[in-house]
Amino acid sequence: MKRDDLLPFLFGGYKVRIAQEFYSDMDIKGKNCMIGYGNARSNLSRALANVNSYRGGVCHIISPAVVDGSRIVTNNSYMVHACGAHFHE
């Protein structure tokens, strides 16, 4: 049984577990910056930014425009900004 309620950040779920594994790998390799890629709706980008905020590291999220070239604001993109990640459009 997976106990996402025991994770010290976010709301649980497999994207959070993936983000946690990425950061564990980063620690093993002695790195100090996370770079992620995802659109404004990306749950993984939100999870990376949130874990980074919890850990106090540096996080960059590269985000493409939608098909028509416009930019949208979603709850996930709002959370990426709120967690202090550097958001590159």
- Angle, CA 7 vertex, CA 27 and CA 15 arms, to 5°: 75
Exposure of 67 in the CB half-sphere (CA atoms within 13 A)? 0
Res 3 pLDDT > 90: no
> What are the phi and psi torsion angles at 58 (to 5°)?
-110, 130
pLDDT band for 55, please (50, 70, 90 cuts).
Answer: confident
pLDDT of 36: 95
- Cβ distance 77 to 87 under 8 Å? yes
Mean pLDDT to the nearest integer, 18-46: 92
Structural domains of the chain sorted by starting position, each given as residue range(s) with its CATH number in brackets: 10-88 (3.40.50.1100)
How far is Cα 84 from Cα 51, in angstroms, rounded to an integer?
11
What percent of the chain stands above pLDDT 70? Answer: 87
C-beta neighbour count of 17 within 10 angstroms: 14
pLDDT of 11: 63
69 closest CA partner among 89, 84, 44, 42: 89
